[in-house]
A = this chain, B = another copy of it.
Protein backbone atom coordinates (compact mmCIF):
# COMPACT_ATOMS: atom_id res chain seq x y z
CA UNK A 1 0.00 0.00 0.00
CA UNK A 2 1.22 3.50 -0.81
CA UNK A 3 0.76 6.07 1.88
CA UNK A 4 1.45 9.75 2.25
CA UNK A 5 1.77 11.64 5.48
CA UNK A 6 0.16 14.83 6.64
CA UNK A 7 2.01 17.56 8.50
CA UNK A 8 0.76 20.53 10.45
CA UNK A 9 0.45 22.74 7.38
CA UNK A 10 -1.73 20.09 5.77
CA UNK A 11 -3.89 19.96 8.87
CA UNK A 12 -4.35 23.74 8.69
CA UNK A 13 -5.57 23.39 5.13
CA UNK A 14 -7.78 20.42 5.84
CA UNK A 15 -9.30 22.15 8.88
CA UNK A 16 -10.51 24.96 6.65
CA UNK A 17 -11.66 22.61 3.92
CA UNK A 18 -13.64 20.31 6.19
CA UNK A 19 -15.21 23.39 7.73
CA UNK A 20 -16.48 24.41 4.31
CA UNK A 21 -17.64 20.88 3.46
CA UNK A 22 -19.24 20.63 6.91
CA UNK A 23 -22.10 22.91 5.83
CA UNK A 24 -22.20 24.17 9.39
CA UNK A 25 -21.93 20.82 11.16
CA UNK A 26 -19.75 17.78 11.62
CA UNK A 27 -18.26 19.15 14.82
CA UNK A 28 -15.66 21.84 15.34
CA UNK A 29 -12.68 21.57 12.95
CA UNK A 30 -10.73 23.82 15.28
CA UNK A 31 -10.67 21.40 18.19
CA UNK A 32 -9.83 18.46 15.94
CA UNK A 33 -7.08 20.50 14.28
CA UNK A 34 -5.51 21.14 17.68
CA UNK A 35 -5.76 17.46 18.60
CA UNK A 36 -4.30 16.37 15.26
CA UNK A 37 -1.35 18.72 15.69
CA UNK A 38 -0.86 17.45 19.21
CA UNK A 39 -0.49 13.86 18.02
CA UNK A 40 1.92 14.99 15.27
CA UNK A 41 4.00 16.75 17.91
CA UNK A 42 4.11 13.52 19.87
CA UNK A 43 6.01 12.12 16.87
CA UNK A 44 3.12 10.10 15.49
CA UNK A 45 2.29 9.96 11.78
CA UNK A 46 -0.99 10.67 10.05
CA UNK A 47 -0.73 8.41 7.02
CA UNK A 48 -3.25 8.66 4.19
CA UNK A 49 -4.11 6.03 1.62
CA UNK A 50 -6.05 6.42 -1.62
CA UNK A 51 -9.16 4.24 -1.94
CA UNK A 52 -7.67 2.81 -5.16
CA UNK A 53 -4.75 1.43 -3.15
CA UNK A 54 -6.90 -0.47 -0.66
CA UNK A 55 -6.67 -4.26 -0.81
CA UNK A 56 -10.08 -5.77 -1.57
CA UNK A 57 -10.27 -7.49 1.80
CA UNK A 58 -8.91 -4.65 3.94
CA UNK A 59 -10.94 -4.29 7.14
CA UNK A 60 -12.02 -0.68 7.44
CA UNK A 61 -14.13 1.19 9.96
CA UNK A 62 -15.53 4.70 10.00
CA UNK A 63 -14.85 6.81 13.07
CA UNK A 64 -16.26 10.12 14.18
CA UNK A 65 -18.01 12.21 16.74
CA UNK A 66 -21.76 12.06 17.24
CA UNK A 67 -23.88 14.61 19.05
CA UNK A 68 -24.82 18.24 19.03
CA UNK A 69 -22.03 20.61 17.92
CA UNK A 70 -23.15 23.21 20.45
CA UNK A 71 -22.29 20.68 23.13
CA UNK A 72 -19.09 19.24 21.67
CA UNK A 73 -17.37 22.63 21.46
CA UNK A 74 -17.64 22.87 25.24
CA UNK A 75 -17.63 19.26 26.38
CA UNK A 76 -14.45 18.06 24.79
CA UNK A 77 -13.20 14.60 24.10
CA UNK A 78 -10.96 12.80 26.49
CA UNK A 79 -8.97 11.56 23.48
CA UNK A 80 -9.18 7.78 23.80
CA UNK A 81 -12.80 7.43 22.70
CA UNK A 82 -11.78 6.46 19.17
CA UNK A 83 -9.39 3.83 20.45
CA UNK A 84 -12.09 2.39 22.68
CA UNK A 85 -14.72 2.03 19.97
CA UNK A 86 -12.19 0.60 17.52
CA UNK A 87 -10.99 -1.94 20.08
CA UNK A 88 -14.59 -2.76 20.98
CA UNK A 89 -15.37 -3.59 17.35
CA UNK A 90 -12.16 -5.57 17.00
CA UNK A 91 -12.96 -7.58 20.12
CA UNK A 92 -16.53 -8.19 19.01
CA UNK A 93 -15.66 -9.26 15.46
CA UNK A 94 -12.38 -10.98 16.32
CA UNK A 95 -10.67 -9.15 13.49
CA UNK A 96 -8.07 -6.37 13.47
CA UNK A 97 -8.89 -3.10 11.74
CA UNK A 98 -6.54 -2.29 8.83
CA UNK A 99 -7.52 1.31 8.16
CA UNK A 100 -10.02 3.93 9.26
CA UNK A 101 -11.95 6.66 7.54
CA UNK A 102 -14.43 9.33 8.47
CA UNK A 103 -18.04 8.56 7.73
CA UNK A 104 -18.36 12.28 7.11
CA UNK A 105 -15.60 14.52 5.77
CA UNK A 106 -17.45 17.63 6.90
CA UNK A 107 -16.47 19.49 10.05
CA UNK A 108 -14.22 18.13 12.75
CA UNK A 109 -15.27 14.64 11.73
CA UNK A 110 -13.10 15.06 8.64
CA UNK A 111 -10.06 15.13 10.96
CA UNK A 112 -11.35 12.97 13.82
CA UNK A 113 -10.26 9.57 12.44
CA UNK A 114 -6.74 10.83 11.81
CA UNK A 115 -6.10 11.24 15.52
CA UNK A 116 -7.13 7.73 16.50
CA UNK A 117 -5.36 6.33 13.43
CA UNK A 118 -2.12 8.14 14.31
CA UNK A 119 -2.25 6.80 17.86
CA UNK A 120 -2.69 3.25 16.63
CA UNK A 121 -0.38 3.43 13.59
CA UNK A 122 -3.24 2.87 11.14
CA UNK A 123 -3.71 4.62 7.79
CA UNK A 124 -6.67 6.85 6.97
CA UNK A 125 -8.52 6.38 3.70
CA UNK A 126 -8.90 9.50 1.50
CA UNK A 127 -12.67 8.99 1.24
CA UNK A 128 -15.83 9.30 3.29
CA UNK A 129 -19.51 8.44 3.04
CA UNK A 130 -21.00 11.89 2.57
CA UNK A 131 -18.64 14.33 0.86
CA UNK A 132 -20.04 16.74 3.41
CA UNK A 133 -21.64 16.44 6.87
CA UNK A 134 -25.11 15.13 7.68
CA UNK A 135 -26.83 14.99 11.05
CA UNK A 136 -27.85 11.34 11.12
CA UNK A 137 -25.88 8.12 11.25
CA UNK A 138 -27.66 6.37 8.37
CA UNK A 139 -27.03 9.25 5.97
CA UNK A 140 -23.95 7.81 4.28
CA UNK A 141 -23.38 6.31 0.87
CA UNK A 142 -22.15 3.24 2.75
CA UNK A 143 -25.53 2.62 4.35
CA UNK A 144 -27.34 3.48 1.11
CA UNK A 145 -25.40 0.70 -0.59
CA UNK A 146 -25.67 -1.98 2.02
CA UNK A 147 -23.26 -1.46 4.90
CA UNK A 148 -24.48 -3.65 7.77
CA UNK A 149 -26.19 -1.81 10.61
CA UNK A 150 -24.19 -3.82 13.14
CA UNK A 151 -21.90 -4.03 14.93
CA UNK A 152 -21.47 -0.41 15.87
CA UNK A 153 -19.91 1.10 18.97
CA UNK A 154 -20.13 4.24 21.02
CA UNK A 155 -17.93 5.66 23.78
CA UNK A 156 -17.88 8.90 25.72
CA UNK A 157 -15.21 10.91 27.50
CA UNK A 158 -15.88 9.09 30.78
CA UNK A 159 -15.18 5.73 29.20
CA UNK A 160 -18.78 4.57 29.04
CA UNK A 161 -18.89 2.26 26.05
CA UNK A 162 -21.47 0.14 24.28
CA UNK A 163 -21.67 -2.10 21.26
CA UNK A 164 -24.81 -2.42 19.20
CA UNK A 165 -24.71 -6.04 18.17
CA UNK A 166 -27.96 -5.99 16.25
CA UNK A 167 -29.90 -3.10 14.72
CA UNK A 168 -32.65 -4.05 12.35
CA UNK A 169 -32.19 -1.00 10.12
CA UNK A 170 -29.69 1.84 9.79
CA UNK A 171 -32.48 4.12 11.04
CA UNK A 172 -32.78 2.02 14.21
CA UNK A 173 -29.01 2.21 14.56
CA UNK A 174 -29.27 6.00 14.38
CA UNK A 175 -31.99 5.95 17.01
CA UNK A 176 -30.05 3.75 19.39
CA UNK A 177 -26.83 5.71 18.84
CA UNK A 178 -28.58 9.04 19.25
CA UNK A 179 -30.40 8.23 22.48
CA UNK A 180 -27.27 6.70 23.98
CA UNK A 181 -25.35 9.82 22.95
CA UNK A 182 -27.93 11.96 24.71
CA UNK A 183 -27.52 9.78 27.81
CA UNK A 184 -23.78 10.32 27.55
CA UNK A 185 -24.28 14.08 27.60
CA UNK A 186 -24.90 14.79 23.92
CA UNK A 187 -21.45 14.03 22.58
CA UNK A 188 -19.61 10.75 22.01
CA UNK A 189 -17.42 8.87 19.56
CA UNK A 190 -18.99 6.34 17.24
CA UNK A 191 -17.98 3.70 14.78
CA UNK A 192 -20.14 1.68 12.43
CA UNK A 193 -19.77 -1.79 10.96
CA UNK A 194 -16.46 -2.80 9.34
CA UNK A 195 -16.36 -2.55 5.55
CA UNK A 196 -14.03 -4.16 3.03
CA UNK A 197 -11.60 -2.22 0.89
CA UNK A 198 -13.57 -3.24 -2.20
CA UNK A 199 -16.79 -1.88 -0.68
CA UNK A 200 -15.23 1.44 0.32
CA UNK A 201 -13.72 1.81 -3.15
CA UNK A 202 -17.07 1.20 -4.79
CA UNK A 203 -19.41 3.10 -2.50
CA UNK A 204 -17.27 5.70 -0.73
CA UNK A 205 -17.07 9.32 -1.83
CA UNK A 206 -13.45 9.29 -2.98
CA UNK A 207 -10.72 11.89 -2.39
CA UNK A 208 -12.66 14.09 -0.05
CA UNK A 209 -9.70 14.68 2.27
CA UNK A 210 -7.84 15.86 -0.83
CA UNK A 211 -10.81 18.04 -1.69
CA UNK A 212 -10.79 19.54 1.78
CA UNK A 213 -7.04 20.13 1.53
CA UNK A 214 -7.44 21.89 -1.80
CA UNK A 215 -10.27 24.08 -0.54
CA UNK A 216 -8.26 25.06 2.51
CA UNK A 217 -5.16 25.64 0.43
CA UNK A 218 -7.11 27.91 -1.91
CA UNK A 219 -8.34 29.95 1.06
CA UNK A 220 -4.89 30.22 2.60
CA UNK A 221 -3.29 31.22 -0.67
CA UNK A 222 -5.97 33.82 -1.37
CA UNK A 223 -5.55 35.32 2.08
CA UNK A 224 -1.82 35.46 1.65
CA UNK A 225 -2.09 37.08 -1.78
CA UNK A 226 -4.72 39.52 -0.52
CA UNK A 227 -7.22 38.05 -2.93
CA UNK A 228 -10.84 37.29 -2.10
CA UNK A 229 -11.00 33.96 -0.23
CA UNK A 230 -14.68 33.58 -1.05
CA UNK A 231 -13.88 33.73 -4.77
CA UNK A 232 -11.15 31.14 -4.21
CA UNK A 233 -13.65 28.81 -2.53
CA UNK A 234 -16.08 29.23 -5.42
CA UNK A 235 -13.35 28.44 -7.97
CA UNK A 236 -12.08 25.41 -6.10
CA UNK A 237 -15.48 23.96 -5.20
CA UNK A 238 -17.47 24.66 -8.33
CA UNK A 239 -19.93 26.41 -6.04
CA UNK A 240 -21.86 29.62 -6.50
CA UNK A 241 -22.32 32.58 -4.23
CA UNK A 242 -25.94 32.73 -3.06
CA UNK A 243 -25.62 35.97 -1.16
CA UNK A 244 -23.34 38.18 0.89
CA UNK A 245 -24.94 39.60 3.97
CA UNK A 246 -25.31 39.89 7.69
CA UNK A 247 -26.73 37.39 10.14
CA UNK A 248 -29.84 39.04 11.51
CA UNK A 249 -31.37 36.17 13.42
CA UNK A 250 -30.35 32.78 14.75
CA UNK A 251 -32.75 30.41 16.46
CA UNK A 252 -30.98 27.43 17.92
CA UNK A 253 -32.03 24.78 20.41
CA UNK A 254 -30.95 21.29 21.36
CA UNK A 255 -33.73 18.82 20.64
CA UNK A 256 -33.41 15.05 20.59
CA UNK A 257 -29.62 15.28 20.59
CA UNK A 258 -29.48 17.62 17.61
CA UNK A 259 -29.05 21.34 17.21
CA UNK A 260 -32.16 22.55 15.42
CA UNK A 261 -33.18 25.99 14.34
CA UNK A 262 -32.98 28.52 11.56
CA UNK A 263 -30.69 31.30 10.48
CA UNK A 264 -31.66 34.52 8.74
CA UNK A 265 -29.18 36.45 6.60
CA UNK A 266 -29.99 39.90 5.25
CA UNK A 267 -28.19 40.94 2.06
CA UNK A 268 -25.58 43.69 2.03
CA UNK A 269 -24.00 45.59 -0.88
CA UNK A 270 -25.26 44.21 -4.18
CA UNK A 271 -27.53 41.89 -2.22
CA UNK A 272 -29.18 44.62 -0.14
CA UNK A 273 -32.88 44.01 0.33
CA UNK A 274 -32.61 40.24 -0.08
CA UNK A 275 -33.25 37.87 2.82
CA UNK A 276 -32.17 34.24 3.04
CA UNK A 277 -33.52 31.77 5.57
CA UNK A 278 -31.51 28.63 6.25
CA UNK A 279 -32.93 25.70 8.21
CA UNK A 280 -30.64 23.89 10.63
CA UNK A 281 -30.41 20.32 11.91
CA UNK A 282 -26.77 20.29 13.04
CA UNK A 283 -26.04 21.23 9.40
CA UNK A 284 -27.55 23.83 7.05
CA UNK A 285 -30.34 21.95 5.30
CA UNK A 286 -32.28 24.23 2.98
CA UNK A 287 -31.68 27.85 1.90
CA UNK A 288 -34.86 29.72 1.01
CA UNK A 289 -35.37 33.20 -0.39
CA UNK A 290 -39.01 34.25 -0.26
CA UNK A 291 -40.86 31.33 -1.81
CA UNK A 292 -37.81 30.11 -3.75
CA UNK A 293 -35.65 27.28 -2.44
CA UNK A 294 -32.14 28.05 -3.65
CA UNK A 295 -30.21 25.04 -2.35
CA UNK A 296 -31.33 21.94 -0.49
CA UNK A 297 -29.85 18.74 0.92
CA UNK A 298 -27.88 16.82 -0.18
CA UNK A 299 -26.31 19.79 -2.01
CA UNK A 300 -24.09 21.85 0.25
CA UNK A 301 -24.90 25.17 1.86
CA UNK A 302 -21.71 26.68 3.22
CA UNK A 303 -21.49 29.85 5.22
CA UNK A 304 -18.12 31.54 5.51
CA UNK A 305 -16.82 34.79 6.88
CA UNK A 306 -17.00 37.35 4.04
CA UNK A 307 -13.52 38.68 4.70
CA UNK A 308 -11.47 35.65 5.63
CA UNK A 309 -13.33 32.75 4.06
CA UNK A 310 -13.40 31.06 7.46
CA UNK A 311 -16.27 28.55 7.56
CA UNK A 312 -18.81 29.24 10.29
CA UNK A 313 -20.50 26.34 12.06
CA UNK A 314 -24.12 26.38 13.14
CA UNK A 315 -22.96 26.57 16.75
CA UNK A 316 -20.83 29.67 16.06
CA UNK A 317 -23.48 31.71 14.30
CA UNK A 318 -24.46 34.95 15.96
CA UNK A 319 -26.16 38.20 15.16
CA UNK A 320 -24.10 40.60 13.09
CA UNK A 321 -21.63 38.22 11.46
CA UNK A 322 -20.75 39.24 7.90
CA UNK A 323 -21.04 36.13 5.83
CA UNK A 324 -21.03 34.75 2.33
CA UNK A 325 -23.59 32.00 1.73
CA UNK A 326 -22.36 29.53 -0.86
CA UNK A 327 -24.06 26.66 -2.63
CA UNK A 328 -21.93 23.71 -3.73
CA UNK A 329 -23.22 20.70 -5.70
CA UNK A 330 -22.92 17.48 -3.74
CA UNK A 331 -21.01 14.39 -4.89
CA UNK A 332 -22.65 12.69 -7.91
CA UNK A 333 -23.31 9.52 -5.90
CA UNK A 334 -25.60 11.42 -3.52
CA UNK A 335 -27.90 12.51 -6.32
CA UNK A 336 -28.92 8.97 -7.22
CA UNK A 337 -32.50 8.12 -6.26
CA UNK A 338 -31.47 5.55 -3.66
CA UNK A 339 -29.26 8.14 -1.96
CA UNK A 340 -31.87 10.89 -2.17
CA UNK A 341 -34.27 8.60 -0.36
CA UNK A 342 -31.92 8.71 2.63
CA UNK A 343 -30.41 12.21 2.32
CA UNK A 344 -32.86 14.20 0.23
CA UNK A 345 -35.32 16.77 1.56
CA UNK A 346 -38.03 14.22 2.31
CA UNK A 347 -35.64 12.29 4.57
CA UNK A 348 -35.49 15.46 6.68
CA UNK A 349 -39.25 15.78 6.85
CA UNK A 350 -39.73 18.28 4.02
CA UNK A 351 -42.63 17.73 1.67
CA UNK A 352 -40.80 18.49 -1.56
CA UNK A 353 -38.44 16.63 -3.87
CA UNK A 354 -34.81 17.36 -4.46
CA UNK A 355 -33.97 19.99 -7.08
CA UNK A 356 -30.31 19.98 -7.99
CA UNK A 357 -28.13 23.02 -7.58
CA UNK A 358 -25.40 23.38 -10.24
CA UNK A 359 -23.40 20.55 -11.70
CA UNK A 360 -22.24 17.72 -9.50
CA UNK A 361 -18.63 16.61 -10.06
CA UNK A 362 -16.46 14.03 -8.35
CA UNK A 363 -13.67 15.16 -6.05
CA UNK A 364 -10.15 14.74 -7.40
CA UNK A 365 -7.13 13.51 -5.49
CA UNK A 366 -4.32 15.96 -4.88
CA UNK A 367 -2.03 14.89 -7.73
CA UNK A 368 1.54 13.98 -6.87
CA UNK A 369 0.60 14.65 -3.29
CA UNK A 370 3.18 12.42 -1.74
CA UNK A 371 6.01 13.83 -3.83
CA UNK A 372 5.01 17.41 -3.15
CA UNK A 373 5.15 16.75 0.55
CA UNK A 374 8.88 16.72 0.75
CA UNK A 375 9.01 20.37 -0.24
CA UNK A 376 6.16 21.55 1.92
CA UNK A 377 7.36 23.91 4.63
CA UNK A 378 5.21 24.96 7.56
CA UNK A 379 4.31 28.25 5.98
CA UNK A 380 1.15 29.09 4.24
CA UNK A 381 1.99 30.03 0.69
CA UNK A 382 4.74 28.01 -0.88
CA UNK A 383 3.05 24.74 -1.60
CA UNK A 384 1.84 24.33 -5.16
CA UNK A 385 -1.20 22.10 -5.17
CA UNK A 386 -2.14 20.25 -8.27
Which A positions have Cβ atoms within 8 angstroms of B? 84, 88, 92, 155, 158-168, 172, 175-176, 178-180, 182-184
- Write out the residue numbers on chain B whose beta carbons fall within 8 Å of the beta carbon of A160: 164, 166-168, 172, 176
What's the nearest-Cβ distance from chain B to residue A68, in Å?
15
- Write out the residue numbers on chain B whose beta carbons fall within 8 Å of the beta carbon of A159: 166, 168
Secondary structure type dominating chain A contacts: mixed
Most chain B CB within a 10 A radius of its CB, from A155, A158, A182, A183? A183
Q: Which 7 A-B pairs have the closest CB atoms?
A: A161-B166, A179-B183, A179-B179, A162-B164, A175-B183, A163-B163, A161-B165
Inter-chain CA distance A155–B163, complex, in Å, is: 12
- Write out the residue numbers on chain B whose beta carbons fall within 8 Å of the beta carbon of A167: 160
What's the nearest-Cβ distance from chain B to residue A56, in Å?
28
What's the nearest-Cβ distance from chain B to residue A353, in Å?
29
- Write out the residue numbers on chain B whose beta carbons fall within 8 Å of the beta carbon of A92: 92, 163
Asked if residues A162 and B161 are in contact (CB atoms below 8 Å), the reply is no
Asked if residues A88 and B165 are in contact (CB atoms below 8 Å), the reply is yes
What's the nearest-Cβ distance from chain B to residue A179, in Å?
4
Of B84, B165, B168, B176, which contacts A180 at CB under 8 A? B176
**A and B contact pairs by CB, cutoff 8 A, 26 listed:** A84-B166, A92-B92, A92-B163, A155-B166, A160-B164, A160-B166, A160-B168, A160-B172, A160-B176, A161-B165, A161-B166, A162-B162, A162-B164, A162-B165, A162-B166, A162-B180, A163-B163, A163-B165, A172-B183, A175-B183, A176-B180, A178-B183, A179-B179, A179-B183, A180-B180, A180-B183
- Write out the residue numbers on chain B whose beta carbons fall within 8 Å of the beta carbon of A183: 172, 175-176, 178-180
Q: A155-B166, A163-B165, A179-B183 are in contact. List 5 more A-B contacts (CB 8 A).
A: A92-B163, A158-B168, A162-B180, A163-B163, A176-B183
What's the nearest-Cβ distance from chain B to residue A258, in Å?
14
Asked if residues A176 and B158 are in contact (CB atoms below 8 Å), the reply is no
User: Given that A179-B180, A180-B179 are known contacts, is A161 also in contact with B158, CB under 8 Å in the complex?
Assistant: no
Inter-chain CA distance A163–B163, complex, in Å, is: 5
What's the nearest-Cβ distance from chain B to residue A82, in Å?
15
Inter-chain CA distance A175–B183, complex, in Å, is: 6
- Write out the residue numbers on chain B whose beta carbons fall within 8 Å of the beta carbon of A168: 158-160
What's the nearest-Cβ distance from chain B to residue A221, in Å?
46
- Write out the residue numbers on chain B whose beta carbons fall within 8 Å of the beta carbon of A184: 176
- Write out the residue numbers on chain B whose beta carbons fall within 8 Å of the beta carbon of A178: 183
Most chain B CB within a 10 A radius of its CB, from A88, A163, A182? A163
